[in-house]
Structure 1
Amino acid sequence: MAFQELLNQVGGLGRFQILQIAFALSLYGLISSHIIMENFTAAIPSHRCWVPILDNDTVSDNDSRILSQDDLLKISIPLDSNLRLDKCRRFAQPQWHLLHLNGTFSSVTEPNTEPCVDGWVYDRSNFLSTTVTEWNLVCESQILNSVTKFSFMIGLFIGGIICGHLPDRWLSESARWLIVTNKPEKGLKELKKVARINGMKDSGDTLTMEVVRTSMKKELEAAKTKHSPRELFHTPILRKRICLLSFMRHLFTLSIFGLAIHLQHLTANVILLQFLISAASILVSIVGHLVLNHMGRRITQLVIMPLRGIFILSAAFIPQEMQILRTVMATLAGAISPLCLSVGRLHTNELLPTTLRATGMGVIGMFGNTGLFLSPLFMMLAPYSAILPWIFYGGFSILTGFSVLFLPETKNKPLPDSIHDITNDWKESRQAKKEDPIIKVTMF
């Protein structure tokens, strides 16, 4: 805990840390807003086939002038299996005899229907224009909507690789990382900078290289050993953590972005749903982090990630007629997502040694972010079953939650500075497990 004492001396959580957090949040906000916009720029409004008797202003059919729009729809558009107007087919000729029938029936499979050869009519009450209405990405072309999202996510993935280092020009380097990587002079300079910004200049002036070397003697001794990124996989314990954390990040990225860019499939009013999610996520995050400090990292993830998956599955299986309940489930799933993401990243940070933390996070992020461009592809299964993509998105979240059982708890434990710290922690844990039965036996 030597570094923690140095950090307390320069102000602990002060103005410097708050400014760093605010700047990082602004960067995340820019990325998140572009992802959320997919629900609006690529929204799929209600639609039906264009038919001359309804949509051609120059039509001169005398019978059509005295009929209501509902009657014209009845004779022009067949019903689907849910007894709703079919979105992708129309009658080849007006079915006048349907006006004299009291009951309704589906005519999707009748030979007198045809595809929407003249285009579609879209409901523009919510969105005047989207990529779907602009390029008619519906019916047979519906799969191309997922392709456009796939292209967008590929751009995010590549951009993260190419430009991911740019924020480091403005974000201050970690003093702890500098010290344990045998750069104590630079670490001292950063600590003095933190003290000055936090209004603790006098305390910063008392910090000298001798103080740093005395306080972190053990860490500096360990820093003399050169560390290679290959050590992430050469050490069995660390290799297991990296592989498991990469697997978990991949699954959860698939789930969280699968939900984030497909909200319009869960509700008729995506604007209201997005507003509810944004408002609820603030409250959930505040309460969740209080619970996190009490329950620890493992139990918190074990509860909230499967719970999020259950909310997703519930929203998908609830009939569309129950829009209020469906919206509530979707809101809860979306609101708990940021909390799941932040807890997972916090746990990951605390499981990796400081000397290899940046490299480890990069490797985990690289494998995890492959879920970015894969997440839209699962929606290609929707034409076969509307619920099938959501089974994957919800199931991945549940599986991620249970995977945390294979990781150790890090609550109230010091951050590991080297691979040696992780190895010792594992040995002490194994030793404690061996000694517990002996203690229990001697008590009786």
Structure 2
Amino acid sequence: MSFEELLDQAGGLGRFQIFQLVLFCITNILTYPHIVLENFTAATPDHRCWVQILDNDTVSGNVTRTLSQDALLRISIPLDSNLKPEKCRRFILPQWQLLHLNETVTNTAEPDTEPCVDGWVYDRSYFPSTIITEWDLVCESQSLKSVVQTLFMTGSLLGSLIYSPLSDRFGRKVVYQWCLLQLGIVDTAAAFAPTFLIYCILRFWAGLNIMTITINSFSLMSEWTISKRKSVGVVLMMSSYSIGQMFLGGLAFAIRNWHTLHLAVSVPLFVLLFPSRKLVESFRWLIVRNQLEKGVKELRRVAHINGKKNAEETLTIENVLDAVHTKPSIFQLFHAPKALNVIRCLFSFHFRFSSAVSFYGLVLNLQHLGSNIFMFQVLFGAITLTARFVSLWTLNYMGLRTNQILFSFLAGVSILVNTFLPQEMQILRVVLATLGIGCVSAASTGSTLHQIELLPTVFRSTLGGIISGFHRIGAIVAPLLMILLGYSLHLPWIIYGVITLLAGLVILPLPETRNQNHQLPDSPQDIENGGKGSRKTEQEDTSIKVTHF
């Protein structure tokens, strides 16, 4: 009896699958904000140098008392090229003569200025406290914000490479719960970090867990769901990330203090540990790992939850023997011609890398679009949510490959056009940015479905971790590219756009799985058999249901 038939006997879409999907969606809503948390906890407010005659309440004197704040600011802080007070320099001595000059005249006497040796004064009207104001990460230290984001993404890369093989060895459920617990602990601790170094270490540690939670939840969902419903489950889970974006935007609007915001998204993770105990280990993984008795036990447990009667009679060890594979080596993937489909999937790292660069380049730099980052966070969440379902709908007509190529092209064009629009065309720039992020999300949805269809169960977490690793590399590169703003204001965005345009080309060698009689492969042998498995029952069945998208 094939895996698909075993799952159908236990209930391929019943109460258990619904519970599992709801739990994973809620978890995603609460875990995704940890990825883009620095949009708000590391928001950079307007700032200027601290100056004694303006900011020291103990300074007295008739002259300073009679002057307005604007006048004191004018003689203390030079103007930049936009005739606004400099953020990182001040006059060494008050420039009283400027009070008698036309205000449009700028001070070009560089020798009269110095860095902000006494600290900064911040505009706290939007954010009373961020890690920027906590540790003065401005001016010469402004790149440290990108360092925090890069460390988190680096942690997510290493985490996917470390925990994914452990998931294939010890099971999806136990590693999923362990990473969920770690994420709650370290990001709760990050809210109380006494120094910037400790904060960076804790955020790196948090990153180690985030991708494993994502990969294992997708593995458990796909391996407990019948093929024809799998695409809907994937899209719903990916849509929960979009809801998480909107949730973070609303939460950050209500909670402006970075310590409290950190706690608000971290403490609820401990509550999720209790319902996660009701999850069931993947029976596909158990059977492939030759744990027959436990696999049958879990199948019967799910059948009981789904209200299936006579499960003990139909779900027996004898019936699952045909589904058992000899434990293969991952190197077998390189020997058989059709198994090169998996190798091609690994070579599609460029697509995952490129989509991550453009996606995180947009969502991690909301302040480059405008001042209302709360609205942009919610707007991006809404557009990505819509894009997930648009992608699901278009898959019915164009297939997985065309879907990824088309949306990658549209995303690249949107980013490049937006790069050269003047700042005054704010509405059009926001429209193109949301279009770009929506197209990247739609392409990523097709890529995730394609990946599940191509990877065998026995190596799904390992290979998924490797492919996700390329995605994480792109996420690491995205904030680092913003350092190039010091050379050109357009250069990072040009790179985002070009790399997204090229991303779709690597999809061409991959096989199309839509309407190809393709069931979820469980071993390298299944890939050789066109994804339909080598079981006698399947060979005799001429009316096998196909995967619908």
Shift of 1:176: 4.1
Please, which of 368, 382, 394 is the counterpart of residue 485 of structure 2? 382
Please, which of 427, 430, 455 is the counterpart of residue 352 of structure 1? 455
Please, which of 240, 254, 258 is the counterpart of residue 357 of structure 2? 254
Shift of 1:349: 1.4
**Counterpart in 1 of 2:16?**
16
What is the alpha-carbon distance in structure 1 between the residues aligned to residue 7 and residue 318 of structure 2?
Answer: 16
**Counterpart in 1 of 2:52?**
52
Distance 1:234 1:212, change over 3 A: closer
Partner SS state of residue 80, structure 2: coil
Q: What TM-score do you get using the length of structure 1 for normalisation?
A: 0.81
Partner SS state of residue 121, structure 2: strand
Distance 1:64 1:403, change over 3 A: farther
CA contact (8 A) 1:232 1:238 kept: no
Q: What TM-score do you get using the length of structure 2 for normalisation?
A: 0.67
- Matched letter for residue 197 of structure 1: I
**Counterpart in 1 of 2:331?**
230
Distance 1:194 1:253, change over 3 A: same
Partner SS state of residue 199, structure 1: coil
Shift of 1:241: 1.5
Shift of 1:391: 2.9
- Matched letter for residue 146 of structure 2: S
**Counterpart in 2 of 1:200?**
308
- Matched letter for residue 132 of structure 1: I
CA contact (8 A) 1:250 1:370 kept: yes
Percent of matched pairs sharing the same residue: 51
Distance 1:18 1:49, change over 3 A: same
**Does residue 191 of the first structure (1) align with residue 299 of the second (2)?**
yes
Pairwise mapping of residues 13-412 of structure 1 onto structure 2 (< 5 A)?
Answer: 13-60=13-60, 62-102=62-102, 104-107=104-107, 110-160=110-160, 165=167, 168-169=173-174, 171-179=279-287, 186-202=294-310, 205-212=313-320, 223-224=325-326, 226-235=327-336, 237-238=340-341, 240-412=343-515
Rg larger in 1 or in 2?
1
Unpaired stretches in structure 2, ≥5 consecutive residues = 175-276, 532-549
Distance 1:321 1:108, change over 3 A: farther
- Matched letter for residue 246 of structure 1: F
Distance 1:2 1:230, change over 3 A: closer
What is the alpha-carbon distance in structure 1 between the residues aligned to residue 46 and residue 400 of structure 2?
Answer: 43
What is the alpha-carbon distance in structure 2 between the residues aligned to residue 20 and residue 128 of structure 1?
Answer: 39
CA contact (8 A) 2:411 2:439 kept: yes
Partner SS state of residue 125, structure 1: coil
- Matched letter for residue 228 of structure 1: S
Distance 1:57 1:382, change over 3 A: same
Partner SS state of residue 86, structure 1: coil
CA contact (8 A) 1:266 1:316 kept: no
What is the alpha-carbon distance in structure 1 between the residues aligned to residue 410 and residue 312 of structure 2?
Answer: 46
Pairwise mapping of residues 429-444 of structure 1 onto structure 2 (< 5 A)?
Answer: none
Partner SS state of residue 48, structure 1: strand
What is the alpha-carbon distance in structure 1 between the residues aligned to residue 310 and residue 523 of structure 2?
Answer: 32
Distance 1:412 1:188, change over 3 A: farther
CA contact (8 A) 2:47 2:120 kept: yes
Shift of 1:43: 0.8
Distance 1:359 1:60, change over 3 A: closer
**Does residue 419 of the first structure (1) align with residue 524 of the second (2)?**
yes
Shift of 1:156: 3.7
Moved more, 296-305 or 319-328: 319-328
Instruction: Describe the superposition over 1:144-190 as per-residue Cα deviations: whole angstroms up to 9, x where unpaired.
Output: 22223233334444445555648522553444455566665554444
CA contact (8 A) 1:284 1:335 kept: yes
Shift of 1:48: 1.6
Distance 1:410 1:367, change over 3 A: same
| RMSD of aligned residue pairs (Cα, Å) | 3.3
Distance 1:5 1:92, change over 3 A: same
How many equivalent pairs are there? 419
Instruction: Describe the superposition over 1:234-260 as per-residue Cα deviations: whole angstroms up to 9, x where unpaired.
Output: 456246424313333233333333433
Distance 1:323 1:48, change over 3 A: farther
